[in-house]
Structure 1
Amino acid sequence: MLKPRSTPTRELVNLDGVWRFAIDSRVGDRPWTALLDTPLEAAVPASYNDLFVDAEIRDHVGWVYYQRSVRVPRGWANERILLRFDAATHAAKVYVNDDLVGEHIGGYTPFDIDLTDTISAGEEFRLTVAVSGDLTNETIPPGKIEVGMDGRKKQVYFHDFYNYAGLARSVWLHSEPLSRVTDVTVVTGFEGATGSVDYRVETDGTGEVAVRLSDAAGVVVAQGSGPRGTLEVADVTLWKPGAAYLYELTVELHDAGSVVDSYPVAVGVRTVEVRGHEFLINGQPFYFTGFGKHEDTAVRGKGHDNAFLVHDFQLLEWAGANSFRTSHYPYAEEVLDFADRHGIVVIDETAAVGLNMGVVGGMSGTPPFPTFSEQYAGAATQAAHAQHIRELITRDKNHPSVVMWCIANEPASNEEGALEYFTPLVELARELDPTRPLTYALVMFATFQNDKIVDLFDVVSMNRYYGWYITPGDLTTAEQYLQGDIQGWVDRTGKPIIMSEYGADTQPGVHSVWDQPWTEEYQASFLEMYHRVFDRFPQFVGEQVWNFADFATSNGIHRVEGNKKGVFTRDRKPKAAAWALRKRWRGLEGRKPGSDGE
């Protein structure tokens, strides 16, 4: 699905702002058929949970309603008219005036609704969007809804970040020509100094496809025609980590001598490959340094914010990080666009977090019932998971910053049924994109001895917390556990290994001369121990600390104002560990694979 853009043949109107807002228990039946009877207004984009001081709204289970009026530009006659939602967490029903015009399930990927036959240019209409944050065993991520003794519904979920809901990303009204480009797929490569851009264009309507590739200065360097082909780029400038270079592929649809549609795609020429125990970008070994992140800020929840986007990338650069993982869901497209432009490497992850009943069993890892069963992750869950993979790869396939797909975080890959559950999903991901490696993030319970699915994947991504959840405060014993764990995966797989999560909760301002958990000194010592172990293994290709910044979680008593494993506070102040990481990662430049000159 192409992101709406303003081009010579397309226009868009941003619908962000303040919308009327109500929860379903406070409005009558069919509230979309009139103005919402509510005193409340909610910001878009933003999660609604933290906007209000009303606990009933924050903890609401069920549907909420957003509403505003929209006027279609007069000049859009004889155009296709569409509504675009960059995300609605986790399900949406969209009404124009009194009528349901579209639905979508999945909280972190976009969807379009075609209004061409519903409204007309110059017309004003009432737009109502019903959004549900409910999670069940048939959603991704999964969860369950319980009813308490007082009759209230309560959302239970099996992941450790707050279940923010609402319209957390932008909403657009946009136009497209009646004959139009509907999709573009780009695959790049190079041989010596000559780059290649394989393209495939899908269209609807009549017309002939023509393409041209321009360099960063706007000079056309290659041209082609037809719905698919290969463009050669002499003296190509490659897209590299830390040194982004983008070409622009302009795709046009010509009919009767006129351009009836035009759409631009940013292109970074680069290759990605796993060879033995190495992860290669442009044929050179690459070493990941960075974080697992979250889309999480005060008041906005998961609402996209460009100010935080810019500042977070500044902090990544300050720390010497070259990468991050979109834990645990696809991030806003603006984030990937920014990474493309600034040379930050991305591991792009689906929203499949919480597929693990062992987590419910606590650190024993003993599930109350099998994860991969109709009680929990059954056929319906698998189908929803497949749809998430389709929508993620369809949306993000052309981003040069995206070098690997992560199709699940901490699934119960040690349980029976895991292989049968994941095999068709891996096959689907490889069919959709055969060019990028695949991984999943290993939970602590999944060891090199009992994991059942690692052979399906290209890279071993480990989430490990020795020294925190296991042997807390005892880094000497934790180091022995970590050393043996990594060695086991090296011996079993021979594949590249990345530590996709490791970290310790830290309350800023708490200090101790001893290895005392929750202190800033302990967090720094914890990371130092892990790094000492990493450096013993040539098979190790990266380290992504959990987490970039503190973030909101559920109301569990083991959390105080959320998860405090961030090396930055939630408002982006550095803890001692941030300075320690800056020293290490900037010191790795020129020594670890993937740095300039190697």
Structure 2
Amino acid sequence: MLKPQNSPTRELINLDGLYRFQVDHEQAGIRDGWQNSTLDTTLEMGVPASYNDVFTDPAIREHVGYVWYQRQVRVPRGWSEERIHLRLDSATHSGKVFVNEILVAEHSGGYTPFSADITEHVTAGEEFRLTIAVNNELTQATIPPGSVTVLEDGRRKQRYLHDFYNYSGLHRSVWLYSTPTAHIEDVTVVTDFEGKRGSVGYRIDLVGGSGIEQVTVRILDADGNEVGGAAGAEGTAEIPDVELWQPGMGYLYTMVVEVVEEGSVVDSYSQPFGVRRVEVQGKQLLINGEPFYFTGFGMHEDHVTIGKGHSNAQMINDFQLLKWTGANSFRTSHYPYAEEVMDFADRHGIVVIDETAAVGLNAAFAGFFGEGGKKTYAEDFVNEETAASHRQAITELIARDKNHPSVVLWSIANEPDVTEEGARTYFEPLAALTRKLDPTRPVGFVNEVRGTPNEDKVADLFDVIMLNRYYGWYVHTGDLASAEQALEKELREWDQKYGRPIIITEYGADTLPGLHSLYDQPWSEEYQTALLDMYHRVFDRVEAVTGEQVWNFADFQTSYGIIRVDGNKKGAFTRDRKPKSAAHTLRRRWTEIPNRKPGASRP
């Protein structure tokens, strides 16, 4: 799943900006063929962005169903001999793409890209009407799952079992790009090293060729010097004096792939990559043979006004704050992030736990979100349709992010129910699929508190133990002494049973900025800091703990309800990125232990 680029044989045009925008309140657009003419609306909407917080009309914010985007696009006149493609970096949660009246692409899954070859439907030098219908509905067949109910007054209400707002729209960029007829469809890079010699295994997938094309690869270092190469669509190139990609030092090489026919280059694509090795040995996760200790956050793509819309400026600010705290990692909770985020992490040596959008696979949360109880693994909830969407989500995540050196661990689900009998039947083939698609990285899922070492039925299928734990907040609220005992007891039970690396992927407490107390008062800044300090004491005493990622990096928006006041307030930073006291506490700890080895005492 190659990211489009400009190259000696390709051209790329960004289609971000203002689009005509129409909300399909009556769910009539598909039936009535809205793509066949100019949308009947005076509204405009910016891309990329969520639409929910942009407009003042609450009926738009809470709309369930399709919204429509439209604009005119001119194909460059020089593309008459090229293949012409459209690519959407995402459409949350599903999209239909029309060129004039023709449906050219449709996709379900709100956080991964999809594209269409539109050569037969457009003409170089002329305009076409681009219309995109985006649907935000979640059902038991989607990842994440949900349900839609129709109220007595006809309004449609979306229900879901995850604790972040269901922002919708075109959250990432839209592209028009060209390729030659015979072109590179995919590049897969797998690296290793022995001493100072690096090896770069590769596979190149071609389409549209006659079969006589030849493939060559050249390896360029960060200064553009050629340091290796090979011939053939599949093989291994060597780098004699390799510079490794390491946490905090994101050294990248470039593989220049060229397709040659009768002595001429007919297609060229440049794939950045880093040389590094990831493995699990005993209770340690090793990067390049060295134990790595995760410090950082679970995060969200969430900003004021634009919701989940990607912004390069705000991305850089978030990475600056990560650096300021001393964090060396983050988890893409709870969905794949924009590719620009992954590229930035590659360049700057930030370690990533990459997660699918499989959140909310847990009927036990139904009461938390205002629904009656049900079984998780059942025909009316997590069923074979859900599993099919989950397989698609894993496949597309790995296809998109497999070449990113920053990605060291796949997380295939967040807080699923792992206590029911159906859990193992559901997750065993998913773990196997993940390893088949990428045997080079560890595989895990994130466990919630009911999945204790004695109750969890799937942990042995995975390479690491990832735990979300809220002792002192949801359990033993306000009693940090009891919380400390309970936390350490459970971590030691995990260690004794599995002897695997334990990463605490969530811990924290909701905090109102500016609320202070002399006592252990929940919601105060002092309590959040005291709770984090308690967790850190426990982590330092348990050898198997190999990482700590606070929930959350910043406050974020959630659905309405009495358990949330304008969103989740567990952030170390406010939603507009102002530091709470906890941010300074984490900075003091993490700048002292940028890569503390498991079991070592705190400096």
In the superposition, the TM-score normalised over structure 2's length comes to 0.97
Letter in 2 for 1:21: F
Partner of 2:107: 104
CA contact (8 A) 1:358 1:367 kept: no
Partner of 1:342: 348
5 Å-filtered alignment, 1:138-537, equals 138-204=141-207, 205-206=209-210, 207-362=213-368, 368-537=373-542
In the alignment, the residues of structure 2 paired with residue 155 and residue 272 of structure 1 have an alpha-carbon distance, to the nearest angstrom, of 40
Q: CA RMSD in A?
A: 1.5
Deviation at 1:414, TM superposition (A): 1.1
Match for residue 137 of structure 1 among 137, 140, 151: 140
In the alignment, the residues of structure 1 paired with residue 58 and residue 195 of structure 2 have an alpha-carbon distance, to the nearest angstrom, of 61
CA contact (8 A) 1:284 1:593 kept: no
Partner of 1:565: 570
Deviation at 1:367, TM superposition (A): 7.7
What is the DSSP-based 3-state SS (H/G/I as helix, E as strand, rest coil) of the residue aligned with 1:161?
coil
What is the DSSP-based 3-state SS (H/G/I as helix, E as strand, rest coil) of the residue aligned with 1:477?
helix
Unaligned runs of 5+ in 1: none
Partner of 1:21: 21
Partner of 1:73: 76
What is the DSSP-based 3-state SS (H/G/I as helix, E as strand, rest coil) of the residue aligned with 1:482?
helix
Residues 423-461 of structure 1 show CA distances to partners (whole Å, capped at 9, x for unaligned) of 111111111000000010001111101100001100000
1:45 lines up with 2:51 in the alignment:
no
Residues 465-518 of structure 1 show CA distances to partners (whole Å, capped at 9, x for unaligned) of 011011111101111110111011111111100000001000100000100011
Deviation at 1:591, TM superposition (A): 4.5
Letter in 1 for 2:556: F
Partner of 2:121: 118
Letter in 2 for 1:15: L
Identity over aligned pairs, percent:
61
1:58 lines up with 2:61 in the alignment:
yes
Partner of 1:552: 557
In the superposition, the TM-score normalised over structure 1's length comes to 0.98
In the alignment, the residues of structure 1 paired with residue 179 and residue 368 of structure 2 have an alpha-carbon distance, to the nearest angstrom, of 51
Which 4+ runs in 1 deviate beyond 4 A?
none
What is the DSSP-based 3-state SS (H/G/I as helix, E as strand, rest coil) of the residue aligned with 1:384?
helix
Deviation at 1:369, TM superposition (A): 2.1
What is the DSSP-based 3-state SS (H/G/I as helix, E as strand, rest coil) of the residue aligned with 2:565?
coil
Residues 219-251 of structure 1 show CA distances to partners (whole Å, capped at 9, x for unaligned) of 100010001111111121100000110011001
CA contact (8 A) 2:545 2:598 kept: no
Residues 405-433 of structure 1 show CA distances to partners (whole Å, capped at 9, x for unaligned) of 00000000111100000111111111100
CA contact (8 A) 1:357 1:367 kept: no
In the alignment, the residues of structure 1 paired with residue 340 and residue 219 of structure 2 have an alpha-carbon distance, to the nearest angstrom, of 22
What is the DSSP-based 3-state SS (H/G/I as helix, E as strand, rest coil) of the residue aligned with 1:245?
coil
Residues 60-110 of structure 1 show CA distances to partners (whole Å, capped at 9, x for unaligned) of 011100000000000111111010000000000111111212111000000
In the alignment, the residues of structure 1 paired with residue 595 and residue 335 of structure 2 have an alpha-carbon distance, to the nearest angstrom, of 32
Deviation at 1:167, TM superposition (A): 0.2
Letter in 1 for 2:148: I
Match for residue 576 of structure 1 among 575, 581, 585: 581
Match for residue 96 of structure 2 among 93, 97, 111: 93
Deviation at 1:590, TM superposition (A): 6.6
In the alignment, the residues of structure 2 paired with residue 591 and residue 386 of structure 1 have an alpha-carbon distance, to the nearest angstrom, of 35
In the alignment, the residues of structure 1 paired with residue 180 and residue 54 of structure 2 have an alpha-carbon distance, to the nearest angstrom, of 38
In the alignment, the residues of structure 1 paired with residue 546 and residue 595 of structure 2 have an alpha-carbon distance, to the nearest angstrom, of 15
CA contact (8 A) 2:21 2:68 kept: yes
In the alignment, the residues of structure 1 paired with residue 431 and residue 90 of structure 2 have an alpha-carbon distance, to the nearest angstrom, of 25
Unaligned runs of 5+ in 2: none
CA contact (8 A) 1:286 1:594 kept: no
What is the DSSP-based 3-state SS (H/G/I as helix, E as strand, rest coil) of the residue aligned with 1:449?
coil
Partner of 1:8: 8
What is the DSSP-based 3-state SS (H/G/I as helix, E as strand, rest coil) of the residue aligned with 2:119?
coil
CA contact (8 A) 1:358 1:366 kept: no
In the alignment, the residues of structure 2 paired with residue 81 and residue 479 of structure 1 have an alpha-carbon distance, to the nearest angstrom, of 59
**Against the structure 1 CA distance between its residues 92 and 429, is the aligned structure 2 distance closer, same or farther, given a 3 Å change threshold?**
same
The count of aligned residue pairs is 594
Deviation at 1:34, TM superposition (A): 0.9
